[in-house]
Amino acid sequence: MLQSYRIVGAATAAIGAAAFYGGSLLPPVPGQNVGPNVFPMVTGGGLFLCGMLIALGVGRRYEQEIEADVAAHAAVHVGAQAAAQIGAQVGAQAGATPAPTQVRHGPLHALRVLVPPGLLIFYALAADSLGFVPTAAIIALTLCRALGAPWRSAVLVALLAPPAVHFAFADLLRVPLPPGLLPMPW
């Protein structure tokens, strides 16, 4: 825990120091004592200071109190989820005791978070050449599967969602979506 504070604090302070240094390099405006360098230096300095305080553990008590509060809330919430999953209202009434079965994940499980931003970058790079509909279909299919949808639903979403989004944005709102390999017939 303390280690994570040190790392987060050091990273924040490093960004602050870089901003301060980057700001100090900006040229002043001739004839004026305040230029474009002042604000980044003030902001960078503030960020550096905050980073140092985080690294020293200042404010940790607040977070521990909030975490305890959230954990107490989540314990009840998880119990209710488990109860709802077995469809038994009685289960929830009996208390928040039933713990949900813990699913074991592989070491690569955490990397799944990179799928949504990765797909957006794929859209930015491929939409012009492939066109909106094929790119959107690939995105929908990949994300559906990554979220655990069965192949049938994923293919259905990949086939139906892109033309629907195309209709809403390109036809109704006149957003110029790239036609690429598969222009819409309407």
Name which of residues 126 to 145 contact another protein (CB under 8 A): 127-128, 132, 136, 139-140, 143-144
On whether the CB atoms of residues 28 and 37 are closer than 8 A, the answer is yes
Q: 125 or 181, CB closer to another protein?
A: 125
On whether the CB atoms of residues 94 and 76 are closer than 8 A, the answer is no
Q: 114 or 181, CB closer to another protein?
A: 114
Q: How far is the CB of 64 from another protein (least distance, A)?
A: 9
- Using CB under 8 A as the criterion, what x/- string covers residues 151-170 for binding another protein? --xx--x---xx--x---x-
Q: How far is the CB of 185 from another protein (least distance, A)?
A: 19
Decide: is 175 part of the binding site for another protein (CB under 8 A). Answer: yes
Count of residues touching another protein (by CB under 8 A):
85
Q: How far is the CB of 182 from another protein (least distance, A)?
A: 15
Q: How far is the CB of 144 from another protein (least distance, A)?
A: 5
Q: 76 or 181, CB closer to another protein?
A: 76
Q: How far is the CB of 159 from another protein (least distance, A)?
A: 12
HSE, CB side, 13 Å, CA atoms: give it for residue 73. Answer: 6
DSSP 50-67: HHHHHHTTTTHHHHHHHH
- Of the candidates 184, 130, 169, 150, the residue with the CA atom closest to the CA atom of residue 139: 130
- Of the candidates 145, 141, 143, the residue with the CA atom closest to the CA atom of residue 157: 141
Q: How far is the CB of 34 from another protein (least distance, A)?
A: 5
Binders in 73-132 for another protein, by CB under 8 A: 73, 76-77, 80-81, 84-85, 87, 89, 92-93, 100, 103, 109-110, 112-121, 123-125, 127-128, 132
